[in-house]
Structure 1
Amino acid sequence: MSKSLVVAIDGPSGSGKSSTSRGVADRLSLDYLDTGAIYRAMTWALLERGVDLHDPAAIVAAAEGIRLTSGTDPSNPTIHVDGTDVAEPIRSDEVTGSVSLVAAVPRVRELLVDLQREAIGGSSGIVVEGRDIGSTVAPDAPVKIYLVADPAARAARRAAETGSPDAAATELALARRDEIDSTRSTSPLVRSEGAVVVDGTFLTLEEVIEAIVGIVDAAR
């Protein structure tokens, strides 16, 4: 493997990025970085501090002093806020419903993109998942994937993950998240130039992983 290998996997919520990215990293013996968890951790930290998430200035003032640390082991991904393990609480409904507000603040994105680039730069090979990896965080990545699935499939997967009995409500929530992420002024969710679209609607997780591993192998 090239020491500069970066596999950028972008896509909307519920498309299967996390499971797929971890699987690809494991198959190829690469590091793994979940940038969504980083934004969730920042959101959790701001909520814990009682910051008004509708006040960008207050968000920035607090975010400047928050220390995030993300592990890169695909078999045991970790995320800490000021030394505290927050892997579980960042998956709460409150964080899920608030993370787009935090992610839309340009200064927050600057801080967290710098953190992500540090992790990428310190790795000999890494799979990075998010929404702006191929377009902003690592635009020179030799492999770029845009992972998609139709809205119903995404909603069913997310409802199964969260235990929600209402797939329709989950689909609506995902649509709102997509709207915010794709229309924000800074680093919106887009298919980056050169990204290969992988549609996982009718594929198993293993089939999606296999497809992406094939794309990586072909690019080497």
Structure 2
Amino acid sequence: MAVSSAIVGGGPWPRQWEGGKGGAWAQCSSDRRGGGRAVGGWLKLEGAMSDTAADLSEGNKLASVSMEAEPSMLVDIPDALSEREKVKFTVHTKTTLPSFKKSDFSVIRQHEDFVWLHDALVENEDYAGIIIPPAPAKPDFDVAREKMQKLGEGEGSMTKEEFNKMKQELESEYLAVFKKTVSIHEVFLQRLAVHTVLGKDHNFHVFLEYDQDVRHFSFFYSMEVPET
């Protein structure tokens, strides 16, 4: 799965990238050896505070968590965008299951939606004895953010070359954390998708297909009057 990312400065940390406003591009690359996938990145920084957008769709190959599972449903996260304290994940699904309205679709989800899905699975008594994959960790960019702030405060005491070098190092560090965040959320969904029982769960399908807030959907679903 190839990854291209833009880290854009200016304003509070972070806000959405708007192209065509100057700044220099620098190419970086790394390996996600755990999944055997090459990663190429593009960085753009205009200030000490940065925004991040990751486009993971180029040359996308869906990773299969289980080689034994039939490919009736493939789930991946081809795009992700960091906005201030939140990360918005584009969750893409390709399926042949008749329970879905479409065979290829995408929705936007935040970390809290992943936690909602995990908790719904854990609380379902029908899944007693089934090992539910752990919920992905909450995105944490505090360390990288603090380093960027300190770098900005100390810019006057450095040469231009020293500042640019440290800035590039911090960009790479932040991008690595961002990629890891996307990866662990993607793997969580892929483990559910290939599970013979959890892959058919109603809440999981709502998470993948419902194009609005799934927690909002859950509230109204629970308010339905049961049949008598």
TM above 0.5, yes or no, is: no
Which has a greater percent of strand?
Answer: 2
Q: TM-score range by the shorter chain?
A: under 0.3
Larger radius of gyration: 2
TM-score (norm 2): 0.22
Q: Give the structure, 1 or 2, with the largest relative contact order (CA under 8 Å, sep 6 or more).
A: 1
Which has a greater percent of helix?
Answer: 1
